[in-house]
Amino acid sequence: MYKELSFEEKYNAIGKKESIYEGVFITAVTTTGIFCRPSCRAKKPKAENVIFFSNPQKAIQNGFRPCKVCKPMDLEGEEPDYIKDIIHELQENPYLRIKDFDLRQRGIEPGQIRRWFKKYHNITFHSYQRMLRINKAYNQIKGGNSVTNTAFGLGYESLSGFNEGCKGIFGKSPKSIIEKNVINIFRFTTKLGPMFACATKKGLCLLEFTDRRMLETEFQDLCKRLNAVILPGKNRFLDLVQIQVLEYFEGKRKDFTIPLHMPGTDFQQSVWKVLLQIPYGETWSYKKQAIKMNKPKAVRAVATANGYNRIAFIVPCHRVIGSNGDLTGYGGGLGRKKWLLQLESKNSGKAIQEEIRFEVP
């Protein structure tokens, strides 16, 4: 069975204030009667005043109340309802332009929504709207519509303004943007923290927690390999991944049915193909994975290729562990890796026999 995190490991984790432990445990403080996320910004309590619980519900059952700073009853990084509504409205109607006046008419302070988009998307709210319109323009021009009709149909007041918008995103004039591809991106929240999903017309090409350290590198690599730019926009695979990820986290789904688009070297693709063969609820060593590929001496190269996997838990690199049983090498954080393995072990009906040792880096 899986070995639980020790008290010391959990206590050290809350000192780091990192979101990679989101959903793994809850910190309750006996002197205040409050429970928090592992990443809470509040002052670190003394060890003798701390009790750890596996989830918020157990903390409440033991008489603790949620922290008002980190709000542990909410999904981390979840959009407020007013932002959910606006994003949905813009996705459905990219012709729409919501200005500061319109926000105030809705009772929304413009500075508030600007700060949210800057924090969670690293762009301004108006840039987000502009990118949605450019994505719509790309699809129309690629579908055969003229540049002029596209520009004025999307509400641009001049062709020069439309040209500047296209060059700013694609680096090309509107007539040349069809040479490029588009990767659509969407941010959504899960019980283990917020995630980015990216998809092309062929399938899902990225699914990562937003705090993954290599995320910017992965975005750049995808754009280079696919000759593409990343833009918000409608994509059926992005709708599908949200549904299936929720079902997976609830223990209701063991197999994903989303088409995948995974550009990489031939060796990387062969490694990822073997990852997809690891059954739900099981773990393999890197050595076993290499043997399955008929490359028993390529253990280190296999481990490196696993690290370049961009599609978390759908392409299940979390099911690969060290030969000595250590949980090692997971870009989403070892706490999440342990949580995912426990979820699958619990719902597979075939508990893994070997003891898994968990080490906080």
Pairing of β 204-209 and β 26-29: unpaired
Query: Any bridge partners for residue 182, and if so which?
Result: 229
Task: For residue 284, give both structure tokens.
Answer: 């393999």
Active site (annotated) includes residue 205: no
| Catalytic site residue from 36, 40, 198, 317 | 317
Q: How do 204-209 and 50-53 pair as beta strands?
A: unpaired
183 has which bridge partners? Answer: 230
b/e code 6-33 from CB counts within 10 Å (16+ = b) = eeebbbebbeeeebbbbbbbbbbbeeee
Rounded distance between C-alpha atoms, residue 249 and residue 121, angstroms? 24
Are 53 and 26 in contact, with CB atoms under 8 Å apart?
yes
Burial class (CB in 10 A: 0-12, 13-18, 19+), 54: middle
98: how many CB neighbours lie within 10 A of its CB?
A: 19
Q: Contact 338/244 with Cβ under 8 angstroms?
A: no
Judged by DSSP in three states, 93 sits in coil
Which among 75, 103, 110, 101 is positioned nearest to 89, based on CA atoms? 103
Positions marked active-site: 317
